[in-house]
């Protein structure tokens, strides 16, 4: 009878998705959901949604909720982290200040100035959570969904003895997108992917043993509307030879190729997740309100809510560990030689077997050198940020921004330091003291 604790459950649409998945999983007929959020109003909505889902499922799950995680952590078998730390208050600063220096971001929550400051706000709270889990639920598996994913997992595994796996949907979603672009049934494609979160690579894409990349390259010539759905990722594929695992908007920020000059932004960027400037900054607060309203509408019966199992990996991990049914998921885990030509003290995203023994990462081998080089630059950024937070080392945080690919392509070292100082000052109330000059 598993106990699943969701921390940051006030991001209630995602919490509802995870709970729906679990309630639709064969063999998980009984258990406990424990919901935690520091915002009492959002927590109440999440609790109402959990009780609604349990009733709809007809299963024998109980629901607990508390703004104090120490009240519900004891007995937890699985802890799912979905926290957002001061995002509403700072998403504007994360975009506007870098833009003054010429760094134009679409999303800014994984790397770059926005991703850096999101990490610096989030990781101290994450470390506090892990310390409480270690003390109160020492045998729990921790599943992280919070971005920046690689950084959150890396800092966690360096600070804690707990088993931690980072979960994202980018690889499985991309596999479905590729099948759609190719007009091939998803079940018929054979693929292999690995790298780091949001910058992993489909190094194999086949059907019946035939390489599908020549066909995909021809499809975007014959059907320009397909190219328009994902221009940055198709450019990466054309020149680097592999399709990457996150949206064109995210990917456009991960290298210096696409956003360092206005003419390049005009040429390659499109609306929304295809690269729109300031997309998150302009929409994030509205989305949060819209998501909460969606749940209220479902609870009131105004909108139908279908209980179905989606593609997120959490329920498959719990199913494997509770019932023994094996499955393969993609997890963000410490690189213990899994990808041979990436740093062995960093976090990589690889296929993992799951069964009663838990999450077991599989060996991948070597990435093509040029793809590994792009990932390794990100991993240097991750190492510096984790070092900054764990050792209270401000200079390491500044140096992380100096090795960020897009920021380095646009700014001088002096400008990068000035940008960091300005962002740290305006976000002072949400950052640890060591980050102030």
The per-residue pLDDT for range 290-323, each reduced to its tens digit, is 989 999 999 999 998 889 999 999 999 999 999 9
Pairing mode of beta strands 164-166, 141-144: parallel
Kindly state whether residues 163 and 173 are assigned to the same domain. Answer: no
- Whether 211 is in a domain gets the answer yes
Kindly state whether residues 366 and 251 are assigned to the same domain. Answer: yes
- Going by C-alpha positions, the residue among 243, 110, 118 that lies closest to residue 168 is 110
Q: CB of 362 within 8 A of CB of 353? A: yes
pLDDT band at 278 (very low <50, low <70, confident <90, very high): very high
Kindly state whether residues 120 and 269 are assigned to the same domain. Answer: no
Chain segment 360-413, per-residue pLDDT in tens? 999 999 999 999 999 999 999 999 999 999 999 999 999 999 999 999 999 999
Kindly state whether residues 97 and 12 are assigned to the same domain. Answer: yes
Domain that holds residue 90: 3-168+302-310
CA distances to 30, 31, 353, 361 from 357, rounded to whole Å, are 21, 20, 9, 12
- Whether 157 is in a domain gets the answer yes
Chain segment 75-117, per-residue pLDDT in tens? 999 999 999 999 999 999 999 999 999 999 999 999 999 999 9
- Residue 333, beta-bridge partner list: 348
Kindly state whether residues 216 and 201 are assigned to the same domain. Answer: yes
Q: CB of 123 within 8 A of CB of 389? A: yes
Kindly state whether residues 56 and 183 are assigned to the same domain. Answer: no
Q: Is the pLDDT of residue 39 over 90?
A: yes
pLDDT reported for residue 288: 85
Kindly state whether residues 181 and 316 are assigned to the same domain. Answer: yes
Kindly state whether residues 318 and 429 are assigned to the same domain. Answer: yes
Question: 39, 93, 139, 169: which is the annotated catalytic residue?
Answer: 169
Chain segment 217-272, per-residue pLDDT in tens? 999 999 999 999 999 999 999 999 999 999 999 999 999 999 999 999 999 999 99
Over residues 161-167, the mean pLDDT reads: 98
pLDDT reported for residue 285: 84
pTM over 0.95: yes
Which among 310, 331, 353 is the end of a domain? 310
- Whether 290 is in a domain gets the answer no
Kindly state whether residues 143 and 233 are assigned to the same domain. Answer: no
pLDDT reported for residue 324: 98
Number of domains in the chain: 2
pLDDT reported for residue 305: 87
pLDDT reported for residue 182: 98
CATH number of the domain bearing residue 177: 3.90.1820.10
Over residues 27-51, the mean pLDDT reads: 97
Over residues 24-29, the mean pLDDT reads: 98
pLDDT reported for residue 366: 98
Kindly state whether residues 45 and 192 are assigned to the same domain. Answer: no
- Whether 284 is in a domain gets the answer no
pLDDT band at 11 (very low <50, low <70, confident <90, very high): confident
- Whether 29 is in a domain gets the answer yes
pLDDT reported for residue 344: 96
Which among 268, 290, 310 is the end of a domain? 310
pLDDT reported for residue 72: 98
Kindly state whether residues 245 and 133 are assigned to the same domain. Answer: no
User: Whole-angstrom Cα distance, residue 412 to residue 207?
Assistant: 47
pLDDT reported for residue 13: 83
- Whether 282 is in a domain gets the answer no
Q: What does 168-234 look like in DSSP terms, one character per residue?
A: -SHHHHHHHHHHHHHT--GGG-EEEEEEETTEEEEEEEEETTEE-HHHHHHHHHH-HHHHHHSHHHH
- Going by C-alpha positions, the residue among 272, 256, 243 that lies closest to residue 264 is 256
User: Whole-angstrom Cα distance, residue 250 to residue 275?
Assistant: 7
Q: Is the pLDDT of residue 12 over 80?
A: no
Kindly state whether residues 268 and 388 are assigned to the same domain. Answer: yes
- Whether 254 is in a domain gets the answer yes
Chain segment 317-362, per-residue pLDDT in tens? 999 999 999 999 999 999 999 999 999 999 999 999 999 999 999 9
Higher pLDDT, 291 or 55: 55
169 is catalytic: yes
- Whether 286 is in a domain gets the answer no
Over residues 46-56, the mean pLDDT reads: 97
pLDDT band at 133 (very low <50, low <70, confident <90, very high): very high
């Amino acid at each position: 009878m598993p106990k699943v604790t969701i921390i940051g459950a006030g991001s209630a649409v995602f919490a509802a998705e995870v709970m729906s998945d679990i309630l639709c999983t064969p063999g998980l007929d009984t258990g406990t959901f424990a919901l935690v959020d520091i915002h009492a109003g959002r927590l109440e909505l999440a609790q109402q949604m959990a009780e609604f889902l349990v009733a709809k499922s007809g299963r024998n799950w109980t629901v607990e909720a508390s703004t104090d995680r120490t009240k519900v952590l004891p007995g937890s078998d699985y802890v799912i982290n979905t926290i957002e730390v001061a995002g509403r208050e700072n998403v504007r600063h994360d975009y506007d200040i870098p833009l003054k220096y010429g760094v134009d971001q679409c999303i800014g929550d994984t790397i770059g100035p926005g991703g850096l400051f999101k990490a610096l706000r989030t990781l101290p709270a994450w470390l506090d959570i892990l310390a409480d889990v270690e003390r109160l639920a020492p045998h729990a598996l921790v599943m992280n969904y919070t971005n920046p994913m690689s950084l959150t997992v890396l800092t966690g595994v360096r600070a804690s003895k707990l088993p931690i796996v980072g979960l994202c949907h980018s690889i499985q979603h991309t596999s479905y997108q590729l099948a759609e672009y190719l007009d091939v049934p998803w079940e018929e494609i054979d693929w292999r992917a690995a790298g780091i979160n949001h910058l992993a690579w489909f190094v194999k894409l086949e059907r019946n043993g035939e390489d599908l990349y020549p066909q995909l390259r021809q499809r975007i010539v014959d059907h320009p509307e397909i190219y328009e759905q994902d221009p940055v990722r198709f450019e990466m594929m054309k020149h680097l030879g592999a399709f990457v695992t996150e949206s064109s908007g995210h990917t456009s920020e991960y290298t210096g190729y696409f956003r360092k000059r206005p003419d390049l932004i005009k040429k390659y960027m499109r609306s929304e997740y295809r690269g729109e400037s300031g997309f998150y900054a302009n929409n994030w607060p509205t989305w949060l309100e819209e998501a909460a309203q969606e749940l209220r509408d479902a609870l009131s019966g105004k909108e139908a809510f279908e209980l179905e199992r989606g593609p997120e990996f959490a329920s498959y991990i719990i199913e494997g560990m509770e019932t023994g049914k094996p499955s393969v998921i993609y997890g963000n885990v410490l690189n213990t030689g899994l990808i041979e030509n990436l740093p062995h003290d960093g976090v990589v995203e690889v296929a993992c077997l799951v069964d009663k023994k838990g999450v077991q990462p599989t060996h991948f081998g070597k990435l093509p050198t040029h793809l590994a080089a792009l990932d390794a630059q990100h991993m240097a950024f991750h190492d510096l940020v984790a070092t900054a937070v764990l050792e209270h080392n401000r200079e390491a945080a500044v140096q992380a921004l100096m090795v960020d690919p897009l920021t380095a392509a646009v700014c001088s070292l002096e400008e990068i330091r000035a940008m960091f100082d300005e962002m740290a000052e305006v976000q002072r109330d949400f950052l640890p003291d060591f980050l102030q000059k």
